[in-house]
Amino acid sequence: MSQDLIKRADELRSRFKVLESVKNSGYHDEDRDHVRTDRHIAPQKNGFPPASQHLVMFTDYIEENVHFAGRDAEKVMACLKEWESENKGLDFFSATGTDKKLIIRIIPRLKVVDGVLTIRLSEWNDVLSVLVAKKVGLQGRAYIDDGSPMPGE
């Protein structure tokens, strides 16, 4: 499973690499908002890595899981562990339910198995809150290819 997901993730990133060299694709360094021309719209101009470096999540809506494969899985785990260590001294009396759950229940249980990190969809939004706060940049595909077009197609 892992090799197939890694291949699909790399194909998506390669597609974004091409788009980043095309003006008005939405991913080029110089692309700006049509109306508010002071605004850059490419991720790399808004505090995120370029889309060609984003992590790729694979959502399985049947089994209700989100998967990351290969280096993406390792990066997500590193990101979660970093967040966990930053929040070690969290005051549980005033902490949000999401933060408490991440520290007590979710992060300790997650691990990369055979190159794949699997997160239950029922816990995904909590993990997502960390990834968004860490500004890793995320792109997604369906776990079982559903024929969704590649970006820019």
Binding mask 83-102 for another protein (x = CB under 8 A): -------------xxx-xx-
| Ramachandran angles phi, psi of 122, nearest 5° | -75, -5
* CA distance linking residue 124 with residue 146, whole number of Å: 21
By CB under 8 A, residue 44 contacts another protein: no
Helix (H) or strand (E) segment spanning residue 123? helix 121-133
Find the shortest distance in angstroms from Cβ 146 to another protein.
5
Could you tell me where the beta strands, DSSP code E, fall in the chain? Answer: 55-60, 65-69, 112-113, 116-120, 138-142
Binding mask 120-139 for another protein (x = CB under 8 A): -xxxxxx-xx--x-----xx
By CB under 8 A, residue 64 contacts another protein: yes
Name which of 1 and 121 has its Cβ closer to another protein. Answer: 121
110 secondary structure, DSSP code:
-
* CA distance linking residue 98 with residue 59, whole number of Å: 21
Residues that bind another protein (CB under 8 A): 26, 33-36, 39, 41, 57, 59, 61-62, 64, 96-98, 100-101, 121-126, 128-129, 132, 138-142, 146-149, 151-153
